[in-house]
Structure 1
């Protein structure tokens, strides 16, 4: 079968820090996919579309009919760190890895088959947030000694550098976000393994458990950083509502209280992550996304 990368993936990789390297990977993707399938002795059924923004997902079956999913991501996405996190969780709250034997050769991940078309976004908002919080509780575990994941302080240091050169229209929010990060990293609270990119769309329906998370961008740090991305989920709905700034603050407080996270720290990380994402969207020419993110950040 043809392994054409979904357009969503092509567009997203064009915005990465290393677009030339990722373009080379995209050009080799058909051959990489065929080789990965052969090594693992599985048969492709179809490519999941629209798929993710950082990987190709192929739905496959073993010779005995057992379903699975083969995920291929460029080296810049650090699939080795994703594998390490999934292995550390061992299927508790997260998708299970089925085979690691060939990962060092091609970086591909053979995973249990979930239902990629059914995420928490298919649920009413209140139910989705309840299930999301339950999933996060399972993921927040000690990273173990000698772990190889970067810390929240390390990841956000580079992001802070980009904010310091943000355009004038972002300057005021960038200053507030940088000040919040400075305060938060000066007094770190916890060292837990975090998903790194957690939101409702990253939690899929499964057979082994009702809901399991996928696609971590793992790092180590405090719970408030991980929860901050969930705060702005379904952002268009939040901005379109009449609740405005008061609604955003209530959402921060509700999620903080649900997971016993400090409200001020969650607000600070939510502000930083929203402004950072908005500035990045603006640089990539996604003005509509940038405006939504920056309007939300201004409410905080």
Structure 2
């Protein structure tokens, strides 16, 4: 073993579950060593920066092929991620080469982790992002293990015990939007779940120049995935003159690019921004919380 784990990587988990995070962090060196032995890997170095709920180690397989060993923290489902990557089988996403969900471990194709769509100009980045999403939106398959959007979004009311000042009306609006959006027959498409420009990395696999990573997969309608993308580069948006108008134009273009209902996109964008804002507030990330809740008021 030539590299030590970046113990600061899983920030969100450490805040939400300090005991579990501490135990996982302490076990990381042995986890890496165990997977390296089982999969005949040579460890090169820890990828930096680390993920919010995972650590990635750059490795080489026995035949010299470069790969990336991803170790998911408790609470981040390696089994669901592996199932989604298997379903996509390289179409629009990184390919899983091995999986050991019992260790929270995935062996992935190595992409260019330092280069995401955020390195491109905004217009080009959005075009490439939508192109990647089109490839990811496939039927989930019979007997799939993925939760639904309804199940994934059920926790906002419970998360709101410690509310930012003045957030009550926004939360009520977000919950009303969710109820209306879920009232009709559900669409069943496999979604990335955490799709944003930073989750699409440069690739030289020969399949596509950009591939998605880090899914938090679920089943539902396309507008749910677009809703996270709609607020990308949020701090740049906030610093822009006329940010609300820019945001509304962006959403109109996104909806048109996939023939989605603009009102459904607005509803899910509102809900997801408020949900993320309340979570950020609860984790002590007050600046992020304020930015997300301000964004929600523009919609």
Deviation at 1:75, TM superposition (A): 3.3
SS of the residue 2:182 aligns to: helix
TM-score, normalized by length of structure 2? 0.95
* Residue equivalent to 2:176: 179
Distance (whole Å) between structure 1 residues aligned to residue 58 and residue 92 of structure 2: 21
For the structure 1 residues 143 and 35, does the alpha-carbon distance in structure 2 shift closer, same or farther, using more than 3 Å as the test?
Answer: same
* Residue equivalent to 1:69: 68
Deviation at 1:244, TM superposition (A): 2.3
* Residue equivalent to 2:223: 224
Distance (whole Å) between structure 1 residues aligned to residue 177 and residue 81 of structure 2: 28
Could you give the per-residue CA deviations for residues 129-154 of structure 1, whole angstroms, max 9, x where no partner exists?
00000000000000111111110001
**1:6–1:49: 8 Å Cα contact kept in structure 2?**
no
| Structure 1: tracts of 5 or more residues without a match | none
1:125 to 119, 122, 127: 122
Bigger fraction of residues in helix: 1
Deviation at 1:251, TM superposition (A): 1.2
* Residue equivalent to 2:12: 12
**1:6–1:50: 8 Å Cα contact kept in structure 2?**
no
Could you give the per-residue CA deviations for residues 204-229 of structure 1, whole angstroms, max 9, x where no partner exists?
01112200000000000000011100
Q: Tell me if 1:87 matches 2:86.
A: yes
* Residue equivalent to 2:40: 41
Could you give the per-residue CA deviations for residues 16-36 of structure 1, whole angstroms, max 9, x where no partner exists?
3x3322321111111111111
* Residue equivalent to 1:154: 151
Deviation at 1:164, TM superposition (A): 7.0
Deviation at 1:193, TM superposition (A): 0.4
SS of the residue 2:150 aligns to: helix
Deviation at 1:168, TM superposition (A): 4.1
Deviation at 1:70, TM superposition (A): 0.4
Distance (whole Å) between structure 2 residues aligned to residue 181 and residue 105 of structure 1: 34
Deviation at 1:265, TM superposition (A): 0.3
Identify the range of structure 1 (71-80 vs 269-278) with the bigger mean alpha-carbon deviation.
Answer: 71-80
Distance (whole Å) between structure 2 residues aligned to residue 205 and residue 20 of structure 1: 35
Q: Tell me if 1:142 matches 2:143.
A: no
**1:197–1:217: 8 Å Cα contact kept in structure 2?**
yes
- Aligned length in residues: 296
SS of the residue 2:155 aligns to: helix
Deviation at 1:187, TM superposition (A): 1.6
**2:3–2:44: 8 Å Cα contact kept in structure 1?**
no
Deviation at 1:64, TM superposition (A): 2.7
For the structure 1 residues 197 and 170, does the alpha-carbon distance in structure 2 shift closer, same or farther, using more than 3 Å as the test?
Answer: same
**2:3–2:45: 8 Å Cα contact kept in structure 1?**
no
Q: For the aligned residues, what is the CA RMSD?
A: 1.4
TM-score, normalized by length of structure 1? 0.95
Distance (whole Å) between structure 2 residues aligned to residue 49 and residue 104 of structure 1: 23
* Residue equivalent to 2:238: 239
Distance (whole Å) between structure 2 residues aligned to residue 167 and residue 131 of structure 1: 35
Poorly superposed stretches of 4+, deviation over 4 Å: none
Identify the range of structure 1 (158-167 vs 247-256) with the bigger mean alpha-carbon deviation.
Answer: 158-167
SS of the residue 1:44 aligns to: strand
Distance (whole Å) between structure 2 residues aligned to residue 36 and residue 223 of structure 1: 35
Could you give the per-residue CA deviations for residues 161-181 of structure 1, whole angstroms, max 9, x where no partner exists?
324763442111111111111
Q: Tell me if 1:59 matches 2:52.
A: no
**1:42–1:60: 8 Å Cα contact kept in structure 2?**
yes
